[in-house]
Structure 1
Amino acid sequence: MADLAKIEEIRRFNRHYANILGKIDQEIYHKPYPLSEASVLAELYGKTGITATEIREKLGIDRGYMSRIIQKFEDDKLIAKKQAPSDKRQHLLHLTNYGEKVHLALVDEANKEVAKMVGSLTSHQLDQLTRAMHTVEKLLTHEEPQAPSVLIRPFQPGELGYVSYLHGRFYNKTYGFSELFEYYVMKGLSEFLMDQQGGELWIAEVDGEIAGSIAIARVDGHTAQLRWFVLDDRFQGQGIGKSLMDTALAFCQAQNYRHIFLWTVHILEAARHLYSKYGFECTEQKPNAEWTSQELIEERWDSELDLH
């Protein structure tokens, strides 16, 4: 049996969501067609013929209630029946032209009311809400998980602050870095924002959510520095770090940089392994006693770029 605390949390969510559904039924789907009846119209819309049994089983509607809904729809001229060719005892239902107009009017009204319900949410919060809904739906219907949609793109206004947040949160949570490290990141990002010539910063998006970043900053006409390479720990192990590195190095090739370097710390074993795979070598070390309670070893890694 699943953990009792988790089961009770699911029941708590069910009670909360039942209240939301009650509000939807009362405030969004008005008379004469409440939520259950509007759901039947939705199942009929766009279909050339479907049986009442199929709709009832899909929506979990009681047989007697389903019969009353069908009779009401017939009386209101919303649906028409025709005998099923494969079974003379069954009738196929479809919406009349008037029934389609009624359904579309209900959809339009419902969209307006739902928009009011979520009107106080930001775009990011709305994305979070819909992703959570998709997750619940997939898990409870046992759908096979789909591969995440990964996008590597240049940063947009407002996102450098989030890059700083990712650094501060990840390094504090994982390695105990202090706020001083986040100041160091923010200071560098601010300088980059004021002078982006010969450089670029990319954002990794996973299903619309920011997962990480990487940047190239110009040092001089032949040399670039790789900076602000970070990946949210929830998205590690999916090859996103490699995609970010490929994007950054391809940019260096296009800019005709001959040399690239980066700074890291000795405790970042996974990152150091990745740098080594891309031909970087550790060329310099120096102590750092500012970011954590224990002394770190900062490392400079360099690589010569093949321009051929």
Structure 2
Amino acid sequence: MYLYQHQLLPKDEVAISPDDRAYYFGDGIYEVFRVYNGVLFEPEGHYRRLEKSAREVRIPLPYGVDKLHSLLLELIGANRLQEGTVYMQISRGVAPRSHPFPQQAEPVVMAYCSEVSRTLKSMQGGIRAVTADDIRWLKCDLKTLNLLANVMAKQHALDQGADEVILHRNGTITECSASNFMMVKEGELFTHPANHLILHGITREVVLRLARQLDIRCHERAFSIEDLSSAEEAFITGTVTEITPVVTVDGKPVGRGEPGPVTRRLQQAFEQLIGIDQA
């Protein structure tokens, strides 16, 4: 079942207008929620970010957060989703193609569930990454539908035989194509500050919170590719990837080329948080 506006419908009954501004302008916002054991994970953080994105791109939310939450719970229940994701997007609405905001358009809400299993092989063994220029716009903190630069970056990584791309602006690392990035030096955690150059990841927030609970010193400040070259550990964070080690960058090992102890401690703490049996 899909959510379209305030109704639950079979997928083949959902009719998206070709005049929806999401189609020809990418004029909309979205969120991807993780579901564990049938429960939305960290929903408050997602709703805060959704409200910020809506406010800054000037799309009026058609419902309050309580109503949106209720609709998503209905959607999860109708699909009997236990582990997976919920994708929700809100476009500015349907109107003839013209750049200015339409005067009469009503925002369009669409959401659906996907079953997604935890990527244990990558989480345990790590992934390979390559670096590339960050060519995105300067409002990366907004979760909008304008993702072509991210798509191109991800494909660049795959074309190089890697799993993810680490983006940088003039040598300063920002984040990845679909995840946030962190490195470990001398047992301390470093990640780019949550400003307009990165998405304020919900899993990123959780990891920083867990790190502080574990007395791992955290630094939210910019660092360079050169800094990364001497890192002991590195990992990405994301709704689906959770905490996934990065073991090589541009073909060179990160530290010993294997997941490190700080990464493992954070993974264990995250699994305890989401209620995963580690036995």
Shared fold (TM-score greater than 0.5)? no
Give the TM-score of the pair, scaled to structure 2: 0.26
Relative contact order (alpha carbons < 8 A, sep ≥ 6): 1 or 2 greater?
Answer: 2
Give the TM-score of the pair, scaled to structure 1: 0.24
Structure ID, larger Rg: 1
